[in-house]
Chain A
Amino acid sequence: MTRGDAWGLAAVAAASVAGVILVFAGCDGSPQAAPRPDLATPQERELYALLEEAFGGAGEPRVPGGMPVSGELLDLGRASWTPQCAHCHGMDGSADTFTARALQPRPRDLRSGVLKYKSTERGWPPTRADVLDAITDGVPFTGMSGFANLPRKARESLADYTMYLMLRGRTWERARAALPGKEPAAAFEEALSAVRERWSAAAGHVVEVPPAPPATEESVARGARLFRGERAACADCHGTDGAGDGPRTREDGGLVDDWGRPLPVRDLREERWRGGRDPADLYRRVSQGIPGTPMPPMDGVLADEEIWALVHFVQSLEE
């Protein structure tokens, strides 16, 4: 090796080490900032300033007092959110990302505060425990993977940050809706109080699943009659055999979800239970419906044992 080669090698080695250091040192893992919504009027701009004052601006998340989540882990949650969640859900939880557009079902717009699979009664927000479960276990047969591999603290922080995005999103939407005819400060206070009250009370509205009776031929047959009958009307969407080809799927271009996106009806013969396949999970879904979709709650329509009969029939459909 000549002296020139030795110098060359030394230069290449130095540049490589410097390059690798720069790769790690120059990136804090959070290149994106949450986009600001379009603010058309001075009132909306004032309202948004109030929102940022209460919930923090880009990079400084915080939650107002009285909310069902503490602010202690929010910084860690935001740091974990960027690499783990932002590519699908976006920095602001809007799920308006390129990855999201490539997925079916579309990742949840968390600002809506809607989780399809949760433990609370219909109309009530999810609890923090529901969010943590979704983060830990994921949603089977969708792009939402589980993060059980992450340390408990990281998952807790992600649950807090997800709750934060939902609370912030709900407060903004409610305040914006209340804005016409109100001062921005009044609209904001009204929205913040409503969100605080409702989301804090959600834990008291967890669905109590009654003990499951044993599945028998009679209960399956009863479930089949209910499934195809007019009271439950499950077959309208799911079809008489549960194939997801009921008459409503053919009306006006098929079913859509609350965001106006086409919604394929589940083929119940396939074992693709996104919300869990335990009998209690199925009971909860039949009883409370699925938020954000046309799947209605049967609570109040059917008695407990009738709901269990439906669960038994649905379980019997699996091929």
Chain B
Amino acid sequence: MGGDATPSGPATGPDERGRRWLHRLAVASTMVTVALTCGLGGTITSTEVGMAYPTWPDINGSSLFNLFYFRLAEAFGWGSVVEHTHRQAGMLTGVLVMATAACALFLPGMPRRWKRLSVAALLLVIAQGLIGANRVLANSYPGAIAHALGAQAVVVVLVILVKTTGRAALVRPEPASAPRHRVDRLRLWSTVALALMFVNLFSAASLRHKQGAFAGHLLLAVTTTAVLLFLVQQAMTKFRDHAAMRRHGRQLALLLGAQLGLGVAAWAFLFTRMQWVFATDASRFLAQSTIATAHLLGGVLVMAAVAALGWEARHRLLPAGG
């Protein structure tokens, strides 16, 4: 996300067909990573079935490409099916990101920044696979926490790649009416927000893996919320005339609201007497794991929204006067 906004005309851009393919692949990679890999990864932690297969890359001796779910469930239990699907989703992410990187590296006329971002995404995904393997083979909780952090780093890089390869990125940015110091402030705080979200994610992952205390996550969540609210306020009031910034601010506000709601629900149903409103163990387990996973996915989406807003502020927001 480095560098100031620089106007760029459509005529000087890369080959349009190649750009479109790269953009589509980046979008597909992002969606698969968020929905499948992060969603299933979160489900695994919520349901505590991460060690259903203590082996890697095989699955208790079976092939990773095994799609006979009923047989897996019968042989190893349903927890193995969740873990198995997560590994397959991780593989799908890997294939898509490899295709993205190949597209950026080998199609003609691709800007260096796209190549760097694609390669960064690929390296992160490879590292994620190895960290995930270490988490399983060494039954390592620090490995599990690093795996959670790595997943969100992949999402952030992919979101930036999506933004930077999008059609809108090729259009010359319109100057906002806000002065330079307001633009600088937005850029500064969007970077701070992103860094803070990673610290908060560390606390959340530590809590979920029973290596950290709730108080730490609570304090960091409150701090992150305050910074994000400030970011929303800045984007929606100081850059009212900038349509994209308003849109990003609105998206972030909505996601933050949902995430706060899910956070409160997760706290209530995991840590308070509210958990006993469920009549059976099974219904309580289902509700708790669903809410916890939704809260994790909410965090991923807020992180993605902050990354997108930050990119917009850095690359598409010109102060008054250019």
Contacts and interface: CB of A to CB of B under 8 A. Distances in A.
Contact of A104 (B61, B77, B82): B77
B199 to A, nearest CB: 5
Contacts of B147: none
Nearest to B288: A98
A147 B137 CA distance: 9
Interface string B58-79: 0011000000000001111111
A84 B213 CA distance: 17
A106 B210 CA distance: 22
B188 A16 contact: no
B242 to A, nearest CB: 20
Given A264-B75, A272-B61, A26 B214 contact: yes
Interface in A13-41: 15-16, 18-27, 29, 31
Given A16-B196, A16-B199, A88-B51, A31 B217 contact: no
A145 B54 contact: yes
A31 B285 CA distance: 18
A217 interface: no
B223 A5 contact: no
A140 B55 CA distance: 9
B17 interface: no
Contacts of B206: 23, 27
B92 interface: no
B98 to A, nearest CB: 30
B8 interface: no
B212 interface: yes
A83 interface: yes
B61 A12 contact: no
A142 B107 CA distance: 46
Interface residues of A, number: 47
Q: Which of A2, A22, A25 has the most CB of B within 10 A?
A: A22
Interface string B135-173: 011111100000000000000000000000000000000
Contact of B220 (A16, A97, A99, A144): A16
- Chain B interface size range: 35 or more
A264 B215 contact: no
Interface in B177-221: 181, 184-185, 188-189, 192, 196, 199-200, 202-203, 206-207, 210-217, 219-220
B79 A19 contact: no
Interface string A66-89: 000000000000000011100110
Interface in B263-283: none
B47 A83 contact: no
Contacts of B130: none
Given A20-B202, A22-B219, A5 B51 contact: no
A66 B223 CA distance: 55
Given A26-B212, A102-B77, 5 more contacts: A83-B210, A87-B51, A99-B49, A103-B79, A272-B61
Interface of B: 47-49, 51-54, 60-61, 73-80, 82, 136-141, 181, 184-185, 188-189, 192, 196, 199-200, 202-203, 206-207, 210-217, 219-220, 222-223, 227, 230, 285
